[in-house]
Amino acid sequence: MHRVLNTIVYILLLLSIAPIAEAKDFVIVIDPGHGGKDAGALGMRTNEKSINLNVALKLKRMLERDMDDVKVLMTRDSDRFIPLQKRADFANRKHADIFISIHANSISSKSPAHRRINGAAVYTLGLDRSDTNLSVAMRENEVMKLESDYSTTYEGFDPSSTESYIAFEMMQHKNMD
């Protein structure tokens, strides 16, 4: 857990240099993944949505304690379901300088690596060509299907189709700049 937090805070420090020079509040939106009817990955004793929320709350406390020129906002601070688009809308409405979506991964107990796996992974916006990145994005975005009107909201984006991600990546370049 500590390694996850250390990695995230380190990245924040790197990205915060330019906006602070402009003497404006740096807005950080923390997004605890999943929530409510969407539990995320399931463990023996807990589930992903609870871990994500607790890590997010802890990260918020650390940032507010250690960085007095940042404003920290959360997409959720309780156990409730928020559609993916609403999370992005919230960050855009608040003019977020950085959006951090926190997730916890799982591995099947049948996998031989089950007892050895640990550590943290950090993904930045943009899908590179690696199959791992793509499969993580596809798995996480399956949550769209829990929304009754997902094909309207996401304008035909199909979370299980590779072609959708190719089109999506092209659209993303505009926002990444």
Binding interface with Zn ion (CB under 5 A): 33, 40, 103
Residue with the CB atom nearest Zn ion in the bound state = 103
CB of 49 to Zn ion, least distance (A): 8
Between 4 and 70, whose beta carbon lies closer to Zn ion? 4
Q: Which two tokens stand for residue 77?
A: 């601070």
Between 76 and 103, whose beta carbon lies closer to Zn ion? 103
- What's the rounded Cα separation, in Å, for the pair 152 and 104? 28
- The string of DSSP letters for 65-122 reads HH-TTEEEEES-SSS----HHHHHHHHHHTT-SEEEEE------TTSTTTTT------
Between 53 and 70, whose beta carbon lies closer to Zn ion? 53
Between 123 and 157, whose beta carbon lies closer to Zn ion? 123
Residues constituting the chain: 177
CB of 43 to Zn ion, least distance (A): 12
CB of 136 to Zn ion, least distance (A): 9
CB of 34 to Zn ion, least distance (A): 6
Amino acid identity of 53?
A: L
- What's the rounded Cα separation, in Å, for the pair 32 and 55? 8
